[in-house]
Chain A
Amino acid sequence: MSRTISSRLSSPEARLALIAVLVFVFMAVLSPDRFLSVQNLTSMAFQFPEFAILALAVTVTMLTGGIDLSVVGVSNLSAVVAAMILASIAGETAVGAGAVMWLILSMVVALSIGAVCGLFNGALVAFVGMPPILATLGSGLIFTGIAVALTGGSAVMGFPAAAAWLGNGLVLGVPVPLILFALLAAIVAFIVSRTAFGLKLIMFGANPRAARFAAINVNGLLLRVYMLSGALSAVAGMLVMSRANSAKADYGSSYLLLSILIAVLGGVNPYGGYGKVIGVVLAVLSMQFLSSGLNMLQVSNFARELIWGVLLIFVMLVNSPRAAALLRRERTT
């Protein structure tokens, strides 16, 4: 299949912005009191950051032409370990500075675990030469498996109250998860467009062989990309843990497909070499507007899944040069 899919698009981001606005306006018109209510808007802001951050993780690996199927495994493993620190070392009763310190420590540990898991993935891809799909499929099972083995498959609960702040707190009326997502999206956008690392990873995604011939440190690059993906997944895991007030090896299993879906919806070329964070953000927003609007209209969770799938395929068709060509032929004959 051709690498030119993305290059022929005038701007998938522009189309996505249009979709996001249309969905928002449509929902607002359909149910103005409820959709535009402060309560709905904040609840949306609490909901989407966890999978949106996973989508960022998938995005960075997709830019290199790879993929990370282990994001959910990494996020659960990091969350489980963090939860064990919070539950058994800090304990439910910890308060004040002590609790905050434990929370920070657990976050540092979670991030390190995420990075180490990513390093492992990166090593499989860079040094062993495995296709990323298989490397992260296998490692994802291992990460999940470790989380299962650590917990015996049950949920870890009983955190200090401070742990809830991460997923449920407000700063100046803005939900903490939203702030976190905005921050991470800005950082990833900055990395991709403004740093040597970011440009190299896009060039690598465009043509891995030419990257090697251009004296780019390909192995180092892959290690760092998957580490970044792992660390982002760990942050998402901490959010899930805080919001659920527990951690479990099989939380958020539907998030894997969702995050890949968002990345592709956001215009990231699954073959690598093209993708913008703003596109991913717009895709996340469209999905969230759509699903909470549908929620309001009493549409079931399952219908949401249906609509996501339809949206993804629709966007792919719109962006597909082949579909455009077929349509043109239709018109001329």
Chain B
Amino acid sequence: MSDTDPPLVEMTGVTKKYSGIVALSNVDFTIRAGEAVCLAGENGSGKSTLIKILAGVEPRNAGDIRFSGVAQGALSPRASADAGVMVIFQDFSLFPNLSVAENIAFSTQLSAQGALYRKAEARRIAAETLKRVGVDISLDARVESLPVVHKQLTAICRALAMDARLIIMDEPTTALTEREVKTLLGIIRRLKADGVAVLFVSHKLAEVLEVCEKVVVLRNGEKVAEGPATEFDSASLTRAMTGRDVAETPPDPLAADAPVLMKVAGLSKDGVFHDIGFDLRAGEVLGVSGLLGSGRTELAKALFGLVAPDTGTITLNGAPIPLGDPLKAAAAGIGYVPEDRLTEGLFLDQSIQRNVAVGRLDAYDRGAMLDLAGLWGEARDWLKKLSVKHSDPEAPVRSLSGGNQQRVVLARWLARGPKVLILNGPSVGVDVGSKSEIHDIIQALAHEGLGVIVISDDLPELLATCHRLLVMKGGRITDEIIGTDTDETDLGHRLAS
């Protein structure tokens, strides 16, 4: 492959409008065989539109697309697939009830147009592609029983089985642990050597920069930056994505006499976490970090009663809290903002104000009947306090942006006047601008004397918000660090080692 060959994909002046609103404006983009490119941008920057156009799912309004130098007319999913453009969506689009072999070979057999399912051939194709990628997954395992990284590899193999020449990966690393990311990057290198091009689409790209040749940044539908990957780091990426410098300031130091609010001792759950103990002081922001699978999310859920520990105690202001009962935990003054906002946090089709008020129904229960005026009034006050941008409190919460949605969940818990607030991944899927605003809210809450626990693997976020950090590994707390004593590199090492 040389640079004189026409690029695998060449887009020039591609524009896309959705009912008059410009989603992509005059964008040029090229990718060559064996090349890896990062496509970065915040939510709504036009990344997904670009993928959809390349995949032939959405038609473009203007612009040229060439595959290996050949000009393309209107694309269809089939035309893109024939050219070897394969998208691996964030959810992998696999069939949980079918075997690995069948998942890998399904598309191939479909496009062969045969009426019969050839099981032996499916296994052969699957075994070959798995070998090409260099991983060992049982062909007969049901996909639902696989760990996330194996699901992702199965999806990659499916694309390869279809002779993929360009694999587009949508948010490939969000669900992976650091070690799994390393595995993935190893495989990407192998694919590149094989002449396959890879396009990473993400708003969290620092981890994949090392395998990429090029970075392209979109903002508001326009290409705002492009250059060799070596010229970017996470700070400059953020700047390009948001168009401004987002300076994170570390939190104000905690008062030396701040009283202990919550005490956790000897908390264990077989096979999940062991002998967890810590104190949380009033006004303190405590970070809990660890890779996925370290037990951090389970610990967070256990503190809120969603997971029942086998042994241990949790006390709040000296009073013990029954384990494994979210109702009692909430009544005692613990709040929990879940990681997966869309499935665990929000009632998407319900109104914004209902999503806030759902936490206060019992408080406004006047015997037989709800004080609706009071309930909605309070919900609207909280929306204002957290400056949730909305047109109508009765509009479905689905209509809000990620950052505003997260504030709605926060408002629900703050309305209950909690003593301790547990935030699991407070800025996952939130654009960079809203992220720092959410960090400001966390600091303000701590100032008011709340104890805040932030569970995250976003190191800059932890450094910007936390007084103290606990590092979890294999279900145990392995490290305790004062926030000012560390930096991103040091913390990264402590997490991974």
Query: A contacts B directly in the complex (CB < 8 Å)?
Result: yes
One of A195, A210, A214 near B370 (C-beta < 8 A): A195
A196-B362, A199-B361 are contacts. A210–B368 as well, Cβ < 8 Å? no
A194 B370 Cβ-Cβ under 8 A: yes
Pick the interface stretch among A139-147, A200-208, A243-251: A200-208
Q: Which residues of B contact A213 (CB under 8 A)?
A: 306, 326, 336, 338, 344-345
B323 to chain A, nearest CB (A): 15
Bound form: Cα–Cα A232–B330 in Å: 33
Q: Does A7 sit at the interface, judged by CB under 8 A?
A: yes
B372 A194 Cβ-Cβ under 8 A: yes
B469 to chain A, nearest CB (A): 25
Interface string of B350-374 (1 = CB under 8 A from A): 1000100111011011001110100
User: Nearest A residue to B337 by beta-carbon distance?
Assistant: A213
Interface string of A294-325 (1 = CB under 8 A from B): 00000000000000000000000000000000
B349 A194 Cβ-Cβ under 8 A: no
Bound form: Cα–Cα A7–B347 in Å: 12
B162 to chain A, nearest CB (A): 28
Q: Which residues of B contact A216 (CB under 8 A)?
A: 358
One of A7, A199, A212, A217 near B349 (C-beta < 8 A): A7
B362 A212 Cβ-Cβ under 8 A: no
A215-B326, A274-B349 are contacts. A203–B354 as well, Cβ < 8 Å? yes
Q: Which residues of B contact A199 (CB under 8 A)?
A: 354, 357-358, 361, 370
Q: Which residues of A contact B326 (CB under 8 A)?
A: 212-213, 215
One of A190, A194, A214 near B358 (C-beta < 8 A): A214
Q: Does B7 sit at the interface, judged by CB under 8 A?
A: no
Interface string of A1-34 (1 = CB under 8 A from B): 0011011000000000000000000000000000
One of B336, B354, B365 near A196 (C-beta < 8 A): B365
Q: Does B481 sit at the interface, judged by CB under 8 A?
A: no
Bound form: Cα–Cα A190–B343 in Å: 29
Q: Does B327 sit at the interface, judged by CB under 8 A?
A: yes
For chain A residues 241-290, which have a beta carbon within 8 Å of chain B? 273-274
A194-B370, A194-B372, A199-B361 are contacts. A217–B354 as well, Cβ < 8 Å? no
Q: Does B185 sit at the interface, judged by CB under 8 A?
A: no
User: Nearest A residue to B346 by beta-carbon distance?
Assistant: A210
Tell me the number of A-to-B contacts counted with CB atoms below 8 Å.
72
Count the B residues whose beta carbon is within 8 Å of the partner chain — how many? 31
User: Nearest A residue to B367 by beta-carbon distance?
Assistant: A195
A196-B364, A213-B344, A214-B412 are contacts. A206–B350 as well, Cβ < 8 Å? yes
B358 A203 Cβ-Cβ under 8 A: yes
Bound form: Cα–Cα A3–B349 in Å: 8
Q: Which residues of A contact B250 (CB under 8 A)?
A: none
Q: Which residues of A contact B425 (CB under 8 A)?
A: none
For chain B residues 386-429, which have a beta carbon within 8 Å of chain A? 396, 398, 412
B349 A4 Cβ-Cβ under 8 A: yes
Bound form: Cα–Cα A199–B364 in Å: 12
A204 to chain B, nearest CB (A): 9
B421 to chain A, nearest CB (A): 13
Bound form: Cα–Cα A216–B347 in Å: 13
User: Nearest A residue to B343 by beta-carbon distance?
Assistant: A209
Interface centre among A207, A209, A212 (most CB of B within 10 A): A207
User: Nearest B residue to A217 by beta-carbon distance?
Assistant: B327
A203 to chain B, nearest CB (A): 5
A18 to chain B, nearest CB (A): 24
A273 B349 Cβ-Cβ under 8 A: yes
Q: Which residues of B contact A274 (CB under 8 A)?
A: 349
B349 A196 Cβ-Cβ under 8 A: no
Q: Which residues of B contact A212 (CB under 8 A)?
A: 306, 326
One of A194, A196, A207 near B347 (C-beta < 8 A): A207
A214-B358, A214-B412 are contacts. A196–B345 as well, Cβ < 8 Å? no
A4-B349, A210-B345 are contacts. A215–B365 as well, Cβ < 8 Å? no
Q: Which residues of B contact A217 (CB under 8 A)?
A: 327
A195 to chain B, nearest CB (A): 6
Q: Which residues of B contact A273 (CB under 8 A)?
A: 347, 349-350
One of A4, A196, A210 near B343 (C-beta < 8 A): A210
Bound form: Cα–Cα A329–B350 in Å: 29
Bound form: Cα–Cα A205–B331 in Å: 23
Bound form: Cα–Cα A283–B407 in Å: 39
A210-B345, A215-B330 are contacts. A203–B350 as well, Cβ < 8 Å? yes
Bound form: Cα–Cα A247–B349 in Å: 43
A194-B372, A196-B361, A196-B365 are contacts. A210–B344 as well, Cβ < 8 Å? yes
For chain B residues 255-306, which have a beta carbon within 8 Å of chain A? 306
Q: Which residues of B contact A190 (CB under 8 A)?
A: 369
User: Nearest A residue to B412 by beta-carbon distance?
Assistant: A214
User: Nearest A residue to B301 by beta-carbon distance?
Assistant: A213
A7-B396, A213-B336, A215-B327 are contacts. A207–B346 as well, Cβ < 8 Å? yes
Q: Which residues of A contact B370 (CB under 8 A)?
A: 194-196, 199
Bound form: Cα–Cα A206–B338 in Å: 17
Q: Which residues of B contact A211 (CB under 8 A)?
A: 347, 358
One of A6, A206, A215 near B359 (C-beta < 8 A): A215
Q: Which residues of B contact A203 (CB under 8 A)?
A: 347, 350, 354, 358
Interface string of B71-97 (1 = CB under 8 A from A): 000000000000000000000000000
One of A3, A4, A195, A215 near B368 (C-beta < 8 A): A195
A4 to chain B, nearest CB (A): 6
Bound form: Cα–Cα A206–B345 in Å: 12
Bound form: Cα–Cα A195–B358 in Å: 12
Bound form: Cα–Cα A207–B350 in Å: 9
Bound form: Cα–Cα A206–B348 in Å: 8
Bound form: Cα–Cα A200–B358 in Å: 7
For chain A residues 172-214, which have a beta carbon within 8 Å of chain B? 190, 194-196, 199-200, 202-203, 206-207, 209-214
A-B contact pairs, 20 of them (CB 8 A): A190-B369, A195-B365, A195-B368, A195-B369, A196-B362, A196-B365, A199-B361, A199-B370, A206-B349, A206-B350, A207-B343, A209-B343, A211-B358, A213-B344, A215-B330, A215-B359, A216-B358, A273-B347, A273-B349, A273-B350
B residues with a Cβ closer than 8 A to A are: 306, 326-327, 329-331, 336, 338, 343-350, 354, 357-359, 361-362, 364-365, 368-370, 372, 396, 398, 412
Q: Which 7 A-B pairs have the closest CB atoms?
A: A215-B330, A196-B361, A206-B347, A196-B365, A7-B349, A207-B347, A213-B344
